[in-house]
Structures are given as C-alpha cells and as structure tokens.
Amino acid sequence: MSNQNLILNMLTFNHPVEQKQFGLFREQKEGYSPLHKSEWPLDLKDTNPELWDEEIEHLYTDFNTIEGADFVTNVELWKSKRFAKHYYTNLISLHFANIADVTNPNFIRDVELWFKHTQQPNNAWTTYSRYMLRVNIGRITKFPEIVVSYEGDSRVLNQTILELDVNSTLFKWVIHEGKRYHYEHLPEDVKADLGNTYPVINNPLRSALGLETGHKRIANKYKHYHDHIQHFYDSYLDTPEFKAIIPLYGTGFMPVKSIIEKKTSQGSNQLIFGKKGGQHQSHVNPYLGILNNGPYGTSPLAHTNLFFVYHEADKPTAGKLYKYFMDGIGQFPSLKNLLKVPINITKDDHVVFMNADNPVPEIRQQLSNKDIDPNQSYIALYLTPITKDETDPEKRAYYYRIKEELLKHNVTSQVVETETVNDNNFGFSLPNIAIAILAKLQGIPWRLERSLYNELIVGVGAFKPNTSRHRYIGSAFCFSNNGLFQGFECYTENDTYKLAGSIGKAVKMYANNHSEVKRLVIHFYKTMSNKELEPIRQELNNLGLDIPIIIITINKTESEDIVVFDTNYEGLIPLSGTYINIGRYQYLLNNNTRYFGTSQDKIDSYAFPVKMSIRSTDETILEDTKTVNSLVDQVYQFSRMYWKSVKQQNLPVTIKYPEMVAEIFPHFEGDIIPPFGKDNLWFL
C-alpha cells in the first residue's frame, strides 16, 4: 500500500499464568480496590450466581490476600478481561511504586508515573516528565496490551500549600509523599499533613503567583513524543525486573500489519478555489490555492461597510492596517483584489475609545449613536492592545464583550492585535485575516472537492471555562457534505433537550430545502449517551423522518491513547490520510500535511492523529466498508474547511467551530447569542 513502516505506541505481552486464585471481600479495607459488578470475574458467577441477585454494586480486593475473603475463586484471566485489566494494572503500579518519583494512588486505574528532570534550573519549582501506562485486553491483538504514552511535563511548587498566601480554590492537583491527589478529594491522612503537600502549577495558580514558567517551542512534537516513550521503554520496561511480572512479547513497539493500514480516497485532500479559464482550480494548500486562484465564492453582499474600533493611541496602527488592506503586502494583494469584494471605508466613521482599561462603555455608547443602515452589511476591525497571552481575565473578557456589543447591532467583527500589525512578519498574518473576513461576509474562501449528497452533518463541540461548573456546548449545524456552514446554537452541557431541539430544527430547515434527506450524521466531541441520543430520535419521529442517525465521536490523541509512527520517515509522522482500525468501529486518522511521503515534504505542523469511533441507529451501516470509508473521508475533509487560518487543522470544523463558540459564549453578558450571530462566522 505504501512504503511506510508503521508502529503503535503499544506493547503486547503473554498472560504470566492462564489461571490464578483471588480473594474478594464484601467490605472495603485499607489499600483494597473497589470492583464494580461489571468487573467481577466471570468465574465468580459460575460459583456464586446468587450474588448477582443481591443489591450490592462493589466487591473489594488487593489481588493478593485470600485468607478471610468472602469469596475465593479461580479466575481464568484470558476470559475475565475487565478483571484481568485491573489485575495487571495493579501489578505494574506495585512494580513502579519505588521507582517513579510520583505515582497515582489508585492501583486499578491507568498507571501514571512522574520522573524528575535530571536538571532543575529554577528554584521555585520542580519539573517532572509524565508517562501513562494503560492496559487493554485484546483491543487490537489477541494478547494483553500496554499503551505507553508521554503526557508532557508538569511543574510542582517547592513551597507547601500552607506556605502559600493564595486562594485555596486555585489548587487542583497536589503531591504528597510521592503520590498525586485531587485537592478537593484528599484522604484524611493527607489533609492532616498539608505542611508536606505541594501544589502542581496550573494556569490560574501561575497567574496568581506571577510566575513566568516560559514555553519551549518544539519544532517536531511528534518526534519529541516518540523519543520520550522510546527512552521510557529502554529504561524501565525492557528490563529483566519488569519482564518478570509482565512477560513482554517480542521486542519494541508493535508494528502495524499492512492489512489494517488504510488510506482516505484519492483527492480527498483537494480544495476548490476560484476560476481560471472558466474552470474552478484545486490545490491541497489553502494559502497557495487562494493566492493563485482567488476564493471559490465571493461575498453575495451588495454593500459592505468596514469601520475600525481602536484606542486613540493606536490611530497610527489603524492607518497602517488600512494601508495594508488597500495596497497589499509583499506578494499578498490588496483585500479588494484578493476577495473580489468592494468594501466601503469612510474615513471619519470609526469608533475611537479613550479608556484602555475598560473600553466597553464607550464602545457601547458610540455604537448606539452610530447610523447603521439595515439594508447594508457591516464589519468592524477591532484593534486590541490585549494579546492572546494576557493573564488578566477581566481584560480578556473585553474581547468577548465587544464582539457581543457589535452583534447586537448586526455587525460582524475581526479582531487584530496591535502587536501583530506592528510586527515585521505581519505579511504572514494578513492571509489569515483576509480569509476570515471573507467568511464573515458570507463568501466562500474554498470548498471541498466532493459530490453533493443529501445528508445533514451536525457538529457538537464543547469548552469548559475555568470559572464555570458546566461545559458550554456549541452546536454548529446544517453543514452540507461539501462543508458549507449554516448556523449554530449554544447552551450548557446538561441541556440535552435543547441539543435535540436545535438538531431537529436544523433537520427541518435542511429538509425544507432538499427533496430527500438520506441520513443525519452527528460529529460529537465525546461518546454520546443514550440519554442524549433518545431526544434526537424523538425529534426525527416528530418530523416524520425515518432516517438513520450516524454518530461519529471525534477527539485528539495527544495523551493517554494510541499514536502511530512511521519509522521509515525521519520526522516519524505518517502520511496524511493514513488510518487504522484500533478496535470495534474505532479508527485512528492521521490528519496532517505530509502528503507525498518524501523527505522533501514541508510539514506545517506535526499534528497528532484524531481518534474517532462510529455508531449508528442502523448497525448494518457499520458493516459496509464503503460507507465507513466515506465517513472517515468526511472527517478528514472537514478539517480542511477551517477559515480562520490558511494552516491545516487536524480537527474538523464540525468540532472546532462549536468549541470556539462555546469558549466565547460564557463571557457574554446576555444569556443568548444575538440572532444575527447565529448564522454568521463572527467567532473566527
């Protein structure tokens, strides 16, 4: 299929013994782990079937003690997979208890291991590398498996909780005597010893203490990840001591069999741009495609008015940005010539504020007095001195509040940092600003090169603000299968009926414009529960639509999960579009810019794979290889419809767009998004 040599960050091992005797207890004991009824050994059901009729949810074990146990049973480990997973996790945890510098206290969950860096250049904190070992039984192979993942670095303050003068709500994870605990769920013995308990640095705590932890840019994070897990394997797993308890099969990480290596369809990475010689042109690179061919579709708006919003001190910067828009910069043309959109800019018709600390009241007042013609379209260019690295939450909130005020007046907006405009490399930012502006003016920078099919694609993403108890969910809906956007809603995580209602509304709107809707595809940010699915079914029934619902769960795999590498390529990242089956209806999709497989490839970013799983109300769909391939293709292609940047993204816009909305919405003063904002891409 290709000249790739793919491996997974996975090891396989043999069962040390086929059968072993264990003791299970009704009552919790110190150091014993709870096992839910679904995790009890199957052999226990054969010998004690009456136990399943009792109102008891958990039994307890330390996987070692038999004396005094309420139940003693011989467990066939190859058969009782859930129990075996916990048993092997326990063995691994005990092995590393005196090897790792920090471990997690629960011996049956995934094994988290922290190791101190050999060099500690800062006296204020100690830096650790974090690794995770996850045991699976027969997920991909017929053997027990260990997934080895690198979780990045963490910093732990060298001051104890009692030595710090900060609000205790800033503490999330803490370290006590080599164990990691959640601060709000500390055991009694740890609570009694807070003078020996150290907080893990998180962003709110870092801001409160004014710490400058810095950020080291890694050119190829894919190789960085691989080098860490290879070092961990060589140092701690490929040893006689570890193999004595976990007899690893073979040498090194697991190769991917060519039979399970698949590829998205030919041309699935192609995008369609403007016409030349009467024909739309295609390209894999958004920047080159739009630069050479122009946008696929110009704005349909007849009259577009642009005005600036800026602080009085930034007037020179506003003038510089205006010049760039009118004349272009470098090889990048003027905004009018690139986007083929006539834009009216009235010289003295801008919003200028004096109070840089809180510009919202002034902007609100000036917008109220502004003569806005309802028959014309408006876009505001907000020049902000507040950068994306701003740590003050109140200042960051101004960004969102100003966007909200503009939406109330039916004005979409583009935010540009003054620092960016004044940077010598602004020419690299201008293309991103230009395509976002076109998208907000209802133009189409580019679209997917695929045949239209009568299906509705709904994307649901989420974002949880630090200040909120709930995730906010943004539902970006009514994407046609060529990737064109229609609108969205936003609400909190626990409102499943609003979610179903907005999806039903989208289906109805789509059905009114199409003679036949063949299926509903939902791209969901997590595994959809039956509680979330059932109201959606009911909505379709109410509409009289007997169509299948396909749910594709999409998430990143940068930690705690499976990653695939190509050892035939120096950068280790597999060819874009390569995907493999990693379980029942589960797939790992490599979604990046390595297209041709040579060492000359220019990789814009070393994006980690996307993990996706597929389920359907019509299970026969999942057995159809052609349909499954088309659904993977769809996820792959929708990542290319991101109109905030000319750089390739690895998450599809069906997840990315609603996540962006959900991040902004909690900062709005009102409880709803103004109607104008529900069918506009103002959030880009």
Asked whether residue 524 is assigned to any structural domain, the reply reads yes
Burial class (CB in 10 A: 0-12, 13-18, 19+), 24: buried
Residues 471 and 542 in one domain: yes
Residue 508 pLDDT = 78
Residues 414 and 305 in one domain: yes
> Which is nearest to 249 in space by CA: 372, 142, 383, 96?
142
Residue 530 pLDDT = 84
Q: Which two tokens stand for residue 69?
A: 């146990």
Domain extent for 459: 452-557+609-679
Asked whether residue 181 is assigned to any structural domain, the reply reads no
Asked whether residue 22 is assigned to any structural domain, the reply reads no
Tens of pLDDT, residues 467-483: 666 677 777 666 665 66
Tens of pLDDT, residues 107-136: 668 899 999 999 998 899 999 999 999 999
Asked whether residue 139 is assigned to any structural domain, the reply reads no
Residues 661 and 550 in one domain: yes
The enclosing domain of 329 has a CATH number of 3.40.50.2300
Rounded mean pLDDT, 514-536? 82
> Which is nearest to 406 in space by CA: 387, 379, 433?
379
**For residue 251, which phi and psi values (nearest 5 degrees)?**
-125, 130
Distance CA 117, CA 135 (A): 26
Kindly give the interhelix angle for 360-369 and 393-408, rounded to the nearest 10 degrees. Answer: 10
Q: Which two tokens stand for residue 398?
A: 């101004």
The enclosing domain of 632 has a CATH number of 3.30.420.10
Who's near 310: CB < 8 A, 6+ residues apart?
A: 317, 318, 350, 351, 352, 353, 382, 383, 418
**For residue 509, which phi and psi values (nearest 5 degrees)?**
-65, -40
Burial class (CB in 10 A: 0-12, 13-18, 19+), 168: exposed
> Which is nearest to 409 in space by CA: 523, 305, 537?
305
Residue 598 pLDDT = 53
Given a cut of 80, whether residue 486 has pLDDT beyond it is: no
> For residues 338 and 326, is the Cβ–Cβ distance under 8 A?
no
Asked whether residue 58 is assigned to any structural domain, the reply reads no
> For residues 295 and 274, is the Cβ–Cβ distance under 8 A?
yes
Query: Length of the chain in residues, anyone?
Result: 684
Distance CA 381, CA 416 (A): 7
Residues 407 and 377 in one domain: yes
Residues 432 and 517 in one domain: no
**For residue 437, which phi and psi values (nearest 5 degrees)?**
-65, -45
Residues 363 and 405 in one domain: yes
Tens of pLDDT, residues 265-315: 888 888 889 888 888 888 888 888 888 888 888 888 888 888 999 999 999
Residues 412 and 330 in one domain: yes
Residue 286 pLDDT = 87
Asked whether residue 492 is assigned to any structural domain, the reply reads yes
Tens of pLDDT, residues 162-183: 999 999 999 999 999 999 999 9
- Return the minimum-mean-pLDDT range out of 145-149, 159-163, 414-418: 414-418
Domain boundary pick from 410, 440, 470: 440
- Residue written as token pair 């040390």: 16
Burial class (CB in 10 A: 0-12, 13-18, 19+), 111: buried
Given a cut of 90, whether residue 12 has pLDDT beyond it is: yes
Residues 384 and 431 in one domain: yes
DSSP annotation of 332 reads: B
- Return the minimum-mean-pLDDT range out of 65-69, 101-105, 407-411, 663-667: 663-667
Distance CA 332, CA 429 (A): 11
Tens of pLDDT, residues 632-641: 998 998 888 8
What total of structural domains would you count in the chain? 2
Is the backbone of residue 628 left (phi > 0), alpha (psi -120 to 50) or beta? alpha
Q: Dihedral of CA 97/103/109/110: which sign?
A: negative
Residues 464 and 341 in one domain: no
Residue 452 pLDDT = 63
Asked whether residue 199 is assigned to any structural domain, the reply reads no
Strand 447-448 versus strand 271-276 pairing type: antiparallel
Domain boundary pick from 440, 473, 502: 440
Tens of pLDDT, residues 390-410: 667 677 778 888 899 999 999
Distance CA 343, CA 337 (A): 11
Q: In what order do the strands lie in the sheet with 455-463?
A: 261-263, 578-583, 586-589, 610-616, 549-556, 519-524, 455-463, 472-479, 487-492
Residues 410 and 506 in one domain: no
Higher pLDDT, 10 or 507: 10
Given a cut of 80, whether residue 516 has pLDDT beyond it is: no
Distance CA 651, CA 636 (A): 8
Residue 470 pLDDT = 67
Distance CA 154, CA 168 (A): 19
Residues 332 and 410 in one domain: yes
Residues 436 and 515 in one domain: no
When the pLDDT of each residue in the chain is averaged and rounded to a whole number, the result is 86
Asked whether residue 98 is assigned to any structural domain, the reply reads no
For 419, other C-beta atoms within 10 Å of its C-beta total 15
